[in-house]
Amino acid sequence: MNPATRQTRNRRRRLVRGGIVVVGLALAAGAMAMARPWWPKCILFSATGLHCPGCGLTRASTALLDGDFAQAFAYNAIWPAIFGLFALGFASALRQYVRGNPAPARSKSVWLAIWWPIGFAVLFVAFGILRNLPWEPWSGLAPHRLTNRA
């Protein structure tokens, strides 16, 4: 097979895979929007009255689907980090899928392999503790509805 034919075939594969990704993301967004009434409640909050670090993420997702970033931040202030990390990982996996590249070898960097996940876990646990403190400004980290909005 000559190089021009191979290049054309690879380009078609990328277009097909890219189309599959776009259709899949559109279907996932539509399913999320339709499933709003059935999204689950937080089990920890229902049992103890304490807000876990993820409490409010479902409502934040709903607010994000509506384009209301301020309300999403009021529901869960750590959502930018969570969704940002998810988006980076998802984008990287999609890029590899569309290009047809195999998964890269594991990084040998100690920072990426060990310290970064540990640091994020510590941040997540600290956020869970701080949002349950009854004093200002920490009480503002608990999920709440914004008032007096124009």
The tens digit of pLDDT for each residue in 16-65 reads: 777 787 788 788 877 767 766 676 777 888 888 888 888 888 888 888 87
**What secondary structure letter does DSSP report for 79?**
H
Gap between the terminal Cα atoms of the chain: 64
Indicate the SS3 state at residue 87.
helix
Q: Are residues 128 and 77 in the same domain?
A: yes
- Are 59 and 32 in contact by the 8 Å Cβ rule? The answer is no
The residue segments making up the domain with residue 30 are 1-38
| 46 and 34 inside one domain | no
* pTM of the predicted model as reported, rounded to 2 decimal places: 0.61
Give percent of the chain with pLDDT exceeding 70: 83
Closest CA to 137 of 55, 72, 80, 77: 77
Q: How many domains does the chain have?
A: 2
> Are both 67 and 99 inside the same structural domain?
yes
**Over residues 118-130, mean pLDDT:** 88
Both 92 and 108 in one domain: the answer is yes
The answer on 116 and 67 residing in a single domain is: yes
Shared domain check, 104 and 134: yes
Same domain, 69 and 10: no
Do residue 55 and residue 17 come from a single domain?
no
Tokens in use for 73?
């931040």
pLDDT: which is higher, 39 or 81: 81
- How many Å apart are CA 28 and CA 135, to the nearest integer? 39
AA letter at 69? F
Same domain, 54 and 31: no
Shared-domain flag, residues 4 and 52: no
Report the distance separating Cα 69 and Cα 75, nearest Å.
Answer: 10
Both 91 and 20 in a single domain?
no
Domain identity same for 85 and 130: yes
